[in-house]
Structure 1
Amino acid sequence: MSLLLDKRELKKAARELTLAKLNDVLETLQSVLAERQSELDAINEIERFAREKGFTLEQLGYKQVQEVVASTPASVSSDDKKPVKPKFKTLNKDSQYFYVENGKLQLLRTHTMKKGLQERGIDVVPAAKVDKKFAKDIERLLADATEQAVTNYNQKVLVWNDWARVNGGELLEQR
């Protein structure tokens, strides 16, 4: 009986659709598609420009904004895909690289940034080869980076735990 009702409803809906309505729907979809394409082009241009200048998108806040949006509890539902289980990575002083820009020592955040800095004529060196006058800044930079890593890890743990509660996964501790 329900199959007959569904068939009748489909026929009724098909009669109501006219060529003009279908053209309106197609035009709307095409305008949305064009708008999305222009947004993608703008994003790609920003990413290319940032890479050329030696910046990472994380430094510009691009990836951090996406993480903050993804970490809101309202965005987590049982239909969401399984998030990546966060792993805390400690910063080892001996494996970090540094560079001097505008008279200040900076920590190299990602190795993809290294080539852009070198192209601009900025030397990237390991901690052992940092100039003596900047040696006192190493600990401060590592402490700041560790603090940021803990914050990012804790945000990811919140997302993971929300998913784990719904799906019966392992709950993680924040640091």
Structure 2
Amino acid sequence: MSLLLDKRELKKAAKELTLAKLNDVLHTLQSVLAERQGELEAINEIERFAREKGFTLEQLGYKQVQDIIPTEDSAVVNDAKRPVKPKFKTLNKSSQYFYVEDGKLQLLRTHTMKKGLQARGIEVVPANKVDKKLAKDIDALLAEATEQAVCNYNSKVAVWNAWAAVNGGEVLEPR
């Protein structure tokens, strides 16, 4: 009986100990949060003061972070990093795979999707084994995929050509 009581007491002590540690962590996080909030207020005050005095943030040493897709301008600025030379891959009807989802024929975009679809119980078939009533959609799906591939290729060619113009590389023709 005493062993059972000791076990209960140990569990109770473990819960209290965990609660005490969690409270310590919570207090630490709150102090760090308060400190960061103070830093943020100081940074905002410095930025406001700099703007009032006519300085730009770049002049003061701040680096602006932009979440944009690389464009021709950024490729020219970042000439030290060589972009990947684009290669256009044609879509051959005979080598494409399709699947039916929600009663509509879909083109398998990547072969890594294949295992996920099969795990969900969706059958992936080559173009020659597509059901005849859905086969009429194959050409439209391939045309849409080709259009998207051309658009992606052309955007990569623009970045490549901008880099090539600065660094003396081969200039590619868009499609």
Q: TM-score when scaled to structure 1?
A: 0.60
Q: Which runs of 5+ in 1 are unaligned?
A: 1-26, 29-65
Q: Residue 159 of structure 1 aligns to which amino acid in structure 2?
A: V
- 1:100-111 maps to which residues of 2 (within 5 A)? 100-111=100-111
- Residue 98 in structure 1 maps to residue 98 in structure 2: yes
Partner in structure 1 of residue 115 of structure 2:
115
Residue pair 2:157, 2:174 contacting (<8 A) in 1 also: yes
Q: Which one has the largest radius of gyration?
A: 2
- Distance in 2, Cα, partners of 1:117 & 1:90: 24
Partner in structure 1 of residue 74 of structure 2:
75
Partner in structure 2 of residue 88 of structure 1:
88
Partner in structure 2 of residue 153 of structure 1:
153
Q: Residue 144 of structure 2 aligns to which amino acid in structure 1?
A: D
- Distance in 2, Cα, partners of 1:79 & 1:91: 32
Q: Residue 75 of structure 1 aligns to which amino acid in structure 2?
A: S
- Secondary structure of 2:69's counterpart equals helix
Please state how far the C-alpha of 1:147 moved relative to its aligned partner. 0.2
- 1:21-170 maps to which residues of 2 (within 5 A)? 69-70=69-70, 72-76=71-75, 77-170=77-170
Residue pair 2:79, 2:166 contacting (<8 A) in 1 also: no
- Distance in 2, Cα, partners of 1:136 & 1:80: 48
Please state how far the C-alpha of 1:78 moved relative to its aligned partner. 4.9
Sort the Cα spacing of 1:102 and 1:78 in 2 relative to 1 into closer, same or farther, 3 A.
Answer: closer
> Where does structure 1 differ by over 6 angstroms across 4 or more consecutive aligned residues?
none
Cα distance per residue 1:30-51 (max 9 Å; x no partner): xxxxxxxxxxxxxxxxxxxxxx
- Distance in 1, Cα, partners of 2:91 & 2:80: 31
Please state how far the C-alpha of 1:75 moved relative to its aligned partner. 1.2
State percent identity of aligned pairs. 75
Residue pair 1:98, 1:108 contacting (<8 A) in 2 also: yes
Partner in structure 2 of residue 172 of structure 1:
172
- Secondary structure of 2:134's counterpart equals helix
- Distance in 1, Cα, partners of 2:148 & 2:78: 29
- Secondary structure of 2:106's counterpart equals strand
Q: CA RMSD in A?
A: 1.9
Partner in structure 2 of residue 55 of structure 1:
none
Residue pair 1:154, 1:174 contacting (<8 A) in 2 also: yes
